């Protein structure tokens, strides 16, 4: 989470739907935070498909009810991972969404809440402000490129997809891979100078206030994580996947 020049970042508020996705790599004893996720119901959480791209022989768990990275809360072993079947088609990060099932159910209380999702197909207007939360890196300095110890939030500005598509960062990527960074209708972008999501925030929620409620409209997907005006952040549009989410978590 890159909070802005000279800003320490805000300790996240009203974010008890957020959990940490932790990975135990083969041959390593400890679990470590790799991505964010959000609690859908007693048994399922929502995250990004790309969090599992390099996960052969890894074990996963989620940590719920704690704002501290790797400490406190309750731990829930991941027993099933369902990434979208079309993840990576059309664009490298199209359909970047996954649901994960936990063995020990989540308990809804003052520390853990089930996330509220948008209506199916709901549009996201350019110009609105959204909130990103996560334990991602807070600086791009080479000597301090570490995850945050506490859950942080940052407010970002949604931009039009056409503007996002023309941003220098994505133009450079498409020069190497013509379909590498196409912005599809399943995605949306934000751009706010000096503020951004970063490595470790992937899979976490993008929230918008609607009628007093925080609604998860997006999932952190892809970007440079710099807060530079030529490098927007790209997010999965949750409203496009309401039916997919419902089908996957009800069929198991």
Q: Which residues have a catalytic role annotated? A: 50, 96, 202
Q: Can you give the length of the chain in residues? A: 252
Beta carbons within 10 angstroms of residue 211's beta carbon: 5
Q: What is the DSSP string of 30-43?
A: S-EEEEEEEE-SSS
Q: Say how far apart CA 80 and CA 78 lie, in whole Å.
A: 6
Measured CA to CA, the distance from residue 54 to residue 88 in angstroms comes to 14
**Residue 193 half-sphere exposure toward CB, CA atoms < 13 A:** 1
Comparing C-alpha atoms, which of 48, 7, 11 is closest to residue 195? 7
Nearest to 41 by CA among 82, 102, 84, 96: 102
> For every residue of 101-124, which 3-state class applies, written as one string?
EECCCCCCCCCCCCCECCCCCCCC
Interatomic CA distance for residues 147 and 70, integer angstroms: 11
Do 155 and 217 touch, CB atoms closer than 8 A?
no
Instruction: Output b/e per residue, 12-42; b: 16+ Cβ within 10 A.
Output: beebbbbbbbbbebeeeeebebbbbbbbbee
């Amino acid at each position: 989470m890159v909070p802005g020049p000279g800003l320490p970042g805000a300790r996240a508020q009203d974010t008890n739907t957020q959990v940490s996705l932790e990975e135990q790599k083969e041959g390593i004893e400890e679990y470590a935070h790799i991505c964010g996720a959000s609690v859908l119901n007693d048994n399922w959480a929502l995250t990004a498909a790309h969090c599992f791209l390099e996960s052969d022989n890894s074990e996963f768990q989620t940590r719920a009810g704690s704002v501290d990275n790797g400490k406190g809360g309750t731990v829930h072993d991941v027993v099933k991972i369902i990434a979208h079947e079309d993840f990576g088609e059309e664009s490298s990060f199209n359909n970047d969404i996954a649901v994960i099932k936990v063995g020990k159910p989540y308990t809804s209380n003052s520390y853990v809440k089930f996330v509220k999702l948008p209506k199916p197909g709901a549009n996201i207007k350019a110009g609105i402000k959204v909130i990103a939360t996560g334990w991602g890196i807070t600086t791009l300095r080479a000597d301090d490129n570490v995850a945050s110890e506490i859950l942080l939030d940052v407010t970002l500005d949604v931009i039009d997809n056409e503007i996002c598509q023309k941003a220098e960062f994505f133009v450079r990527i498409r020069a190497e891979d013509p379909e590498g960074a196409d912005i599809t209708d399943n995605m949306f972008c934000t751009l706010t100078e000096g503020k951004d999501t970063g490595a470790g925030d992937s899979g976490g929620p993008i929230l918008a206030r609607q009628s007093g409620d925080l609604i998860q409209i997006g999932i952190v997907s892809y970007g440079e994580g710099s807060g530079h005006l030529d490098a927007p952040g790209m997010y999965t549009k949750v409203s496009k996947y309401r039916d997919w989410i419902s089908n996957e978590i009800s069929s198991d």
